[in-house]
Structure 1
Amino acid sequence: MSTTDPKLTAAHAEVKAEIARTDNKVALLLAFVGAVLAGAWTIARDLPLTLPAVIVGGLGTALLVAAAGLLLRSVRPNLSGRHGFPLWATLTPEQITDAVTRDLAADVAGLSRLAVVKFTGLRRAVDLTLTAGALLILALLLTAGGAL
Structure 2
Amino acid sequence: MSAAEKNLIAAHAEVKAEITRTDTKTALLLAFVGAVVAGAWTVARDVPLTVPALVTGGAGLALLVGAAGLLLRSVRPNLAGRHGFPLWATLSADEIGAAVARDLAADVARLSRLAVAKFMCLRRAVDLTMTGGALLILAALLTLGGAR
Give 3-state SS (helix, strand or coil) of 1:5's partner: helix
* Structure 1 stretches of at least 4 aligned residues deviating more than 4 Å after TM superposition: none
Aligned AA (1:87): L
State the identity %: 75
Alpha-carbon distance in structure 2 between the residues aligned to 1:117 and 1:35: 25
- Who is 1:24 aligned against? 24
Q: Which whole-Å deviations, capped at 9, do the CAs of 1:27-65 have from their partners, x for residues lacking one?
A: 000000000000000110111000000000000000000
Give the alignment's Cα RMSD to 1 decimal: 1.1
- Who is 1:143 aligned against? 143
Moved more, 4-13 or 131-140: 4-13
Q: Which whole-Å deviations, capped at 9, do the CAs of 1:89-136 have from their partners, x for residues lacking one?
A: 000001100000000000000000000000000000000000000000
Alpha-carbon distance in structure 2 between the residues aligned to 1:81 and 1:22: 19
- Who is 2:126 aligned against? 126
| Matched ranges for 1:98-137 at <5 A | 98-137=98-137
Unaligned runs of 5+ in 2: none
User: Scaled by the length of structure 1, what TM-score is found?
Assistant: 0.97
Q: Residue 84 in 1 paired to residue 88 in 2?
A: no
- Who is 1:41 aligned against? 41
Unaligned runs of 5+ in 1: none
